[in-house]
Amino acid sequence: MTAAKLVIGNWKLNGEVARVRAFAQRAARDWPGCEAALCVPHTMLAAAQAAFGATPLRWGAQDCSAEDEGAFTGEVSARMIREFGARYVLVGHSERRTALGETDGQIVAKVQRALAAGLTPIVCIGEKAEERDGEQTAMVLRRQLLQLVRALQGGLASVVVAYEPVWAIGSGDAATPGMIDHTLGFIADTLAFHGGVSAGAVRILYGGSVHPRNAGAILSRKSVAGVLVGGASLVPDDFIEICKAAARCSAPRHEIHIQQGSVSAQ
C-alpha cells in the first residue's frame, strides 16, 4: 500500500467554474505535495480538466450511473466522466443513499461501471446516529461491504473505501481518532476476512467534519489512508491546510537497507 495519504474534496451541490479556477491558481502556487483530488459537479468536469491538468491536483465526480448507455434520461455514465480525464468517482454517499434511496446493489453496479471505465471508485459507507446508538454500527458496515466484496473479488484492491459516519457529516463534530481507529480496523478486518485482501491493500479514508484544526490528529493515525472532506473543501485555504497535514503525515519513502545478507525496510 502507498504510504501517501489521500485527500478527496466533495463539493456536493456547490461551487462554480470560477472556484475551480481559483483552486487551480492556488494549487499551482503553493502545493504541499500530497495526493489530492476535488470531486466536483458533473458540469464542472471540463473546467477541472482544463484548470487542474497542469497542477498536482486531480479531479473526480460525485456519482456515476449504474448503466453504461441507453434510455436513462439525466444519467451520466462512468465512461462519460472518464472522458474528462477524471481519476475518481464517489459512489454511495450517504446523502444519495438516504435522499435518493440508492441501494447496496445499485452501488455495486456503479462501482463495477467505474472500474470498467478506468476510474477509481470511492465507496462511501457509514452508520446513522440511531444505528450507532443501537450498537448496530458493525452490522450496518458489514452489510454495506459484503455485496461489494462478493461482486468484486480480485478487483477489491482498486477501490477506495470512505468511512463516513452519517452523524458526523456536516455536524462540525468529527468522530474521535480513537473511534476512527477502531472502526477502520473493523472495516479492514472485514475486507480481509470476506474479500481475501491483505491488510492495508484497500485504502480506507475517514470523512465527516474534517477541518484544518482536526485534520492532523485524524491523518496521523496509521489506520487512516486519507480523508474525504465536504465543507472545508470549498475554501482553498482550508483545503490546502488539510493537504499540508496529509503531506506531514505521509510516511517518508521506505528505504531498503541490505545488511549482511538480510533485507529490512525502514
Residues with catalytic function:
93, 164
- Establish if 164 lies at the interface with ligand PGA (CB under 6 A): yes
Is the CB of residue 166 less than 8 Å from the CB of residue 230? no
- Establish if 207 lies at the interface with ligand PGA (CB under 6 A): yes
Give whichever of 92 and 231 is closer to ligand PGA, judged by the CB atom: 231
Part of the chain binding ligand PGA (CB under 6 A), chosen from 147-155, 163-171, 214-222, 244-252: 163-171
C-alpha 9: how far from its chain's center? 8
Answer for which of 5, 6, 7, 10 binds ligand PGA (CB under 6 A) is 10
Q: Distances in Å between the alpha carbon of 10 and those of 85, 166, 194?
A: 17, 15, 29
- Establish if 60 lies at the interface with ligand PGA (CB under 6 A): no
Q: Distances in Å between the alpha carbon of 149 and those of 6, 68, 138, 193?
A: 22, 21, 16, 10
Within a 13 Å sphere around the CA of 28, how many CA atoms are in the beta-carbon half? 11
Residue given cell 498536482 in the structure block: 56
Grid cell digits, residue 205 = 479514508
Helix (H, G, I), strand (E, B) or coil at 195: helix
C-alpha torsion angle, residues 3, 84, 59, 234 (rounded to 10)? -170
**Which of 35, 34, 12 lies closest to 164, judged by CA?**
12
- Establish if 210 lies at the interface with ligand PGA (CB under 6 A): yes
- Establish if 224 lies at the interface with ligand PGA (CB under 6 A): no
C-alpha 83: how far from its chain's center? 20
- Report which secondary-structure segment, H or E, holds 98: helix 94-99
Answer for which of 191, 231, 242, 243 binds ligand PGA (CB under 6 A) is 231
- Establish if 102 lies at the interface with ligand PGA (CB under 6 A): no
Residue nearest to ligand PGA (CB): 230
**Binders of ligand PGA among 170-199, rule CB under 6 A?**
170
Part of the chain binding ligand PGA (CB under 6 A), chosen from 108-116, 216-224, 229-237, 239-247: 229-237
| Least distance to ligand PGA, CB of residue 199, Å | 25
- Establish if 15 lies at the interface with ligand PGA (CB under 6 A): no
Q: First-to-last CA distance in the chain?
A: 15
Give whichever of 195 and 212 is closer to ligand PGA, judged by the CB atom: 212
Answer for which of 20, 44, 169, 191 binds ligand PGA (CB under 6 A) is 169
Dihedral over Cα of 58, 35, 118, 71: its sign: negative
| Least distance to ligand PGA, CB of residue 9, Å | 9
Give whichever of 197 and 225 is closer to ligand PGA, judged by the CB atom: 225
Q: Count CB neighbours of 129 within 10 A.
A: 12
For residue 5, which amino acid is it?
A: K
Give whichever of 141 and 169 is closer to ligand PGA, judged by the CB atom: 169
| Least distance to ligand PGA, CB of residue 63, Å | 12
Binding-residue total with ligand PGA (CB under 6 A): 12
Q: Which residues bind ligand PGA (CB under 6 A)?
A: 10, 164, 169-170, 207-210, 228-231
